[in-house]
Structure 1
């Protein structure tokens, strides 16, 4: 004998927002069960109660109520697990008789509850291009993608992740473009995931990543609509999570983290120039302080004679070796960054500017560091901010410290050993099963036109190689040229 659903649901009444109520209708009664903090009370009274109470004819069956209500998402269910899942997602469970073993699950979730009214990008700002970003509502984010990519090829697959949270998670891809292998891999990793509560896509990324011990992010996360759209049309898989304003995509490559959407809103010469500036800034940020330590510790003979005098003069009153001097300034910069990121915007800007100036000047006057190193560390910190993705900026900040220690132990040889370890680690990394440093390894010369530089659109008609898309061509270049030639001939 099946248990009484009404009594089974009464066991969850310990929570104050769990509500069970009875609505009398003539000689019958309608039993409603719901979480009052999840549903839209306006919709409950306007679309459900008003239609049940008003009719003059007698209601005897659930299907009569289902046909009467102006609501699309209504499901007849008698499974306790499905009912609890519906209740925790904002549905109202309706029974005509508590002794019956089925009822109606009427979706009345309040979609506006706890969500932002504005969806401007907060952390990925650019001067050119749209400023539309994602919010914490999964349905809103899906709507933004559907509006941006007006095609029937855009597929959404919804899953439930988290043994306790039951977080709604969606896999998005373009059918006929995205490689089915990547879709299957992402789906299988999400289905095999055994975790209690999934708060955000960043946590989800750590749980399904190919290598959890790597400091490099293996999924690209972004809150910009145009960046996710570009990833989808290149054949990548996007993963959306309810309650998260960021979306992760894969498989991705290391070069994707160094590409800004603004590159494609500028002439290709300017886009390539700024991208090369970005690469130089990253190399400078990683190597500048370690080269300083190696040069002053082991290779001071390489310093030009004109520069040797100012360096000796600036270090005259510094009692520490170059290693401790560099670590002192680098840790100070990191403390300022962490403090600034935890404070309100206006306070953090004041802290960064005033704190940097005061601490830097005081450190030089106290003889704790030299003027030259202070300039190098400041430029190194600025260079790390040139990356458009925050997560790769954290990786760059981290890589400086092991290289500084290796430089203090073995000089230039130590730096080379560190770089070889980093390169070897990159060669082994994979993103959703695909090589991480394509097009360098495996080498694909056709993909260099949109990785190291941003070539003209006449040279980027093919999709990037990393996702191994089913359809390799985005558009036909020759057709565009013919149109231009016809116009010129007129």
Structure 2
């Protein structure tokens, strides 16, 4: 990359720095972006070492020897040199040489490794992914120090390519799943903005579905567990989340913490999350349908309390429920967008004040506030933010159907959801596995979490090449050392 080239490629780049080691028009130049690279490396390390050479006669081989750089740092094309500069590396060029040399800079701007904020950790490692792809790769390598962990690098996007990494365990992950992800990434024709959330939408089998068919996680332990079962991990530069696929609907209700707890506690938590999903989805619609069409189903004592609670409410149950659900969603969205301390205050104080005010003003009943609050709490129990958001959105059409058609509307809406889920696929695999197709042997690590000694097999959903995780007979042995 000569001087004319850098003027061509960096016409409006004020942070491009070009240093001549020997004299203003010397043969050896150092290129770096002051906003990306650490200038201390250039002035305190590289330039003193290069000044020890006889630069008028030095070739690129002498520069490599003096700096101790390996052959992998050689750059033969201008576009590669520009890409490395934009990544924060330092480029050294000798006029007349066939190639240049890059030196990595260790002080690029980025966020340090912290604990997970979205997927909170009760037990387990207190680390989360960051926006730097190399740091995320380092974290996974430390969690999974195995030569079987294969890593493929792709550039996705046309105008501004984004570096994307595909990771999987060779001999465990199904090659068909790997090929599917690789092909879909290569087929993306978008210009830029290749965040993990955007990539997941491009990789999804059905982009029009409201249900997520690929997992997003910021927890390395979840990614490592997925790799060990046969899933594929996709990491995108600039995103603190990684993609896991293929996946099933039930895996969105599982947490890595389930494996750190005793099996009976973990199984209880998983069942509670499934129950909470039905409560969040059906509790308010059942209230609306019962008060609108099915008074005869309400016990007499409870009916009297409902009549007294609704005596001042001028709206029908349908619009009353939608009004309260919208208030809950507004409070949730406001709390998420405001600073942390202010957001918590808004959520607590706003809920109490608005709830009491709406009851006193006669806009709603006490019983509906209890029901809506239970539904909102139940939607937050799911470990995955993606699936909890989906459930909250689906609740609104279910309320409308219950208000228009009663119990028939609830059954119709639930049947539509069931048929829709049964048709979904994740990288070509059935989304509702192991419920459909039915495979009872995998229920003990899906609906519940059986004791670890009873889980010798990997889930057949991932079609792993190595089906056994350990010898089941040895796993059941309890030998004491005398």
Q: TM-score, normalised by structure 2?
A: 0.95
Structure 2 distance, partners of 1:440, 1:393, is: 20
* Secondary structure class of the residue paired with 1:466: helix
* Contact 1:5–1:101, Cα closer than 8 Å, also in 2: no
- CA shift, 1:28, in A, is 4.6
Q: Deviations over 1:150-201 (max 9, x none)?
A: 2111111111122233222111100000001111111111111112223521
* Contact 1:52–1:65, Cα closer than 8 Å, also in 2: yes
**Equivalent residue number for residue 273 of structure 1:** 268
- CA shift, 1:127, in A, is 2.0
CA RMSD of aligned residues (A): 1.9
**1:404 equivalent in alignment to 2:404:** no
Distance 1:434 1:379, change over 3 A: same
- CA shift, 1:284, in A, is 0.2
**Equivalent residue number for residue 318 of structure 1:** 313
* Secondary structure class of the residue paired with 2:458: coil
Distance 1:115 1:34, change over 3 A: closer
Which of 4, 22, 39 matches 1:7? 4
Which of 388, 391, 412 matches 1:393? 388
Distance 1:225 1:284, change over 3 A: same
What does 1:365-404 correspond to in 2, within 5 Å? 365-404=360-399
* Secondary structure class of the residue paired with 1:233: helix
- CA shift, 1:440, in A, is 0.9
Q: Deviations over 1:388-416 (max 9, x none)?
A: 11111100101101111111111111111
Distance 1:195 1:377, change over 3 A: same
* Secondary structure class of the residue paired with 1:24: coil
Structure 1 distance, partners of 2:119, 2:382, is: 10
Which of 82, 85, 104 matches 2:83? 85
- CA shift, 1:346, in A, is 1.1
- CA shift, 1:131, in A, is 1.3
**1:487 equivalent in alignment to 2:477:** no
- CA shift, 1:309, in A, is 0.4
What does 1:447-466 correspond to in 2, within 5 Å? 447-466=442-461
* Contact 1:74–1:105, Cα closer than 8 Å, also in 2: no
* Secondary structure class of the residue paired with 2:461: coil
What does 1:464-483 correspond to in 2, within 5 Å? 464-482=459-477
* Contact 1:438–1:465, Cα closer than 8 Å, also in 2: no
Which of 226, 229, 236 matches 1:234? 229
* Secondary structure class of the residue paired with 2:277: helix
* Contact 1:23–1:30, Cα closer than 8 Å, also in 2: yes
* Contact 1:298–1:411, Cα closer than 8 Å, also in 2: yes
- CA shift, 1:311, in A, is 0.6
What does 1:143-158 correspond to in 2, within 5 Å? 143-158=138-153
Structure 2 distance, partners of 1:27, 1:353, is: 67
Higher alpha-carbon deviation: 68-77 or 171-180:
68-77
- CA shift, 1:372, in A, is 0.6
Structure 1 distance, partners of 2:65, 2:150, is: 30
* Secondary structure class of the residue paired with 1:373: helix
Structure 2 distance, partners of 1:450, 1:27, is: 68
**Equivalent residue number for residue 219 of structure 2:** 224
Higher alpha-carbon deviation: 38-47 or 343-352:
38-47
* Paired residues, number: 481
Structure 2 distance, partners of 1:42, 1:158, is: 30
Extract unaligned runs of 5+ from structure 1: none
Q: Deviations over 1:316-374 (max 9, x none)?
A: 11110111000000000000000000111111111111100000000011110011111
* Secondary structure class of the residue paired with 2:27: strand
* Contact 2:153–2:164, Cα closer than 8 Å, also in 1: yes
**1:106 equivalent in alignment to 2:110:** no
Which of 386, 410, 414 matches 1:415? 410
Structure 1 distance, partners of 2:437, 2:71, is: 49
Distance 1:171 1:76, change over 3 A: same
* Contact 1:86–1:105, Cα closer than 8 Å, also in 2: no
**Equivalent residue number for residue 33 of structure 1:** 31
- CA shift, 1:119, in A, is 1.8
Q: Deviations over 1:112-134 (max 9, x none)?
A: 43322342111111322221211
- CA shift, 1:136, in A, is 1.5
* Contact 1:250–1:467, Cα closer than 8 Å, also in 2: no
Distance 1:89 1:117, change over 3 A: closer
Structure 2 distance, partners of 1:194, 1:402, is: 34
Structure 2 distance, partners of 1:42, 1:388, is: 44
Higher alpha-carbon deviation: 81-90 or 326-335:
81-90
**Equivalent residue number for residue 128 of structure 2:** 133
